Amino acid sequence: MSRVYNFSAGPAVLPEEVLKEAAEEMLDYRGTGMSVMEMSHRSKAFDTIIKEAEADLRELMKIPDNYKVLFLQGGASQQFAMIPMNLMKNGTADYIVTGQWAKKAYQEACLYGKANKIATSEDKTFSYIPDCSDLPVSEDADYVYICENNTIYGTKYKELPNTKGKTLVADVSSCFLSEPVDVEKYGVIYGGVQKNIGPAGVVIVIIREDLITEDVLAGTPTMLRYKTHADADSLYNTPPAYGIYICGKVFKWIKKMGGLTAMKERNEKKAKILYDYLDESSLFKGTVEKKDRSLMNVPFVTGSEELDAKFVKEAKAAGFENLKGHRSVGGMRASIYNAMPIEGVEALVAFMKKFEKENA
């Protein structure tokens, strides 16, 4: 068996320990004689799995009691619709557009009400986070929406926007559990788990209870109402059971690693190795404003498309996978999520140094 260093933006690297444990439990989950994939979501064994997963997540993120944790399906993209359908009571919401994912969410919201783009960084290909200290937040906005870490462009809000008292809704797909968060600052925090937590198929929504109401947009399907899932503790219908089981294992792995403070330190250390090199290299350059750099997704270029392609190809041959940048921006991108070991980043930088020398 040989494992590569996988820099994919998602689905992405998972902790090896977790994968090994899952493999050991594949045929017979703790004496049940079956795999978690094969068991009823109403069984005692699964009940324990989902309850423990929620409890561990609550502990990790210090989620207050007046927030619900929902394990849903449909990916992060389903939330682009669910959020306006459930939260647009006044029919108005403000969006800060800092990349493709925020833009898609904004465009989706336009289908359901008045969505206002109150700030954007599209003028410079989303290479920075706009100043959000005094935005023209709408008087009747039901919420202000952000994508907190921009997976494609590699930017991250270092400070949350001043929403002037309005509910903050955040897509944290690509920075979920990468550092401590103050849940109370948000009305809704959500993310697809396939970036930093588990296998594709699960989306986690952390939502303040007062936002879960029956007063939703007319025609909202039962499955797209937060209340349906909150009332049933995420078991209204068959949940993505195996995915939730793996997420639960990753929560336990993070707890063992020291929790979110330790994750942040580790992630800062990893990102620094790569950013420091990008700053000193005469071949490779980072593409975003330094103050807005993401700890999770690190895009870079050589300045020559030909050399970029050569780098990606040679890197792949040397065991560094998925370094090609998003199809919309080109260049390279190294996603260095929680489960990427520090050795992976060190090895990548050593390889980049060698490439730089050979191609000077």
Q: How near is the Cβ of 77 to ligand PLP at its closest, in Å?
A: 3
Q: Which residue is nearest to ligand PLP (CB)?
A: 75
Catalytic residue among 68, 195, 249, 252: 195
Q: Which of residues 3-42 bind ligand PLP (CB under 6 A)?
A: 10
Q: How near is the Cβ of 101 to ligand PLP at its closest, in Å?
A: 4
What is 245-296 written as a DSSP string? HHHHHHHHHHHHHTHHHHHHHHHHHHHHHHHHHHHH-SS-EE-S-GGGB-SS
Q: Which of residues 77-116 bind ligand PLP (CB under 6 A)?
A: 77, 101
Does 302 help bind ligand PLP (rule: CB under 6 A)?
no
Instruction: Give how far the C-alpha of residue 222 lies from the chain's centroid of Cα atoms, to the nearest Å.
Output: 26
Does 173 help bind ligand PLP (rule: CB under 6 A)?
yes
171 part of the active site: yes
Q: By C-beta, is 155 or 220 nearer to ligand PLP?
A: 155
Tell me, what DSSP letter sits at residue 325? P
158 part of the active site: no
Q: Of 41-49, 169-177, 263-271, 272-280, which part binds ligand PLP (CB under 6 A)? A: 169-177
253 part of the active site: no
Supply 130's token pair.
């706009």
> Which of 92, 121, 163, 174 contacts ligand PLP by CB under 6 A?
174
Q: Of 116-124, 136-144, 170-178, 221-229, which part binds ligand PLP (CB under 6 A)? A: 170-178
Does 76 help bind ligand PLP (rule: CB under 6 A)?
yes
Q: Of 54-62, 73-81, 133-141, 242-250, which part binds ligand PLP (CB under 6 A)? A: 73-81
Catalytic residue among 94, 171, 292, 308: 171
Sequence-distant contacts of 262-267: CB under 8 A, at least 24 apart: 263/177, 263/178, 263/179, 263/338, 264/178, 264/179, 264/180, 264/295, 266/338, 266/342, 267/178, 267/179, 267/295, 267/296, 267/336, 267/338
- Vertex 186 angle, CA 55 and 193, to 5°: 50
- Of 346, 350, 352, which Cα lies nearest the Cα of 323? 352
Residues whose CB falls within 8 Å of the CB of residue 178, separated by 6 or more in sequence, listed in order: 149, 196, 260, 263, 264, 267, 295, 296, 337, 338
> Which of 68, 156, 166, 195 contacts ligand PLP by CB under 6 A?
195
Does 259 help bind ligand PLP (rule: CB under 6 A)?
no
SS3 66: coil
Q: Which residues are catalytic?
A: 101, 171, 195
Residue numbers at the binding site for ligand PLP (CB under 6 A)? 10, 75-77, 101, 147, 151, 171, 173-174, 192, 195
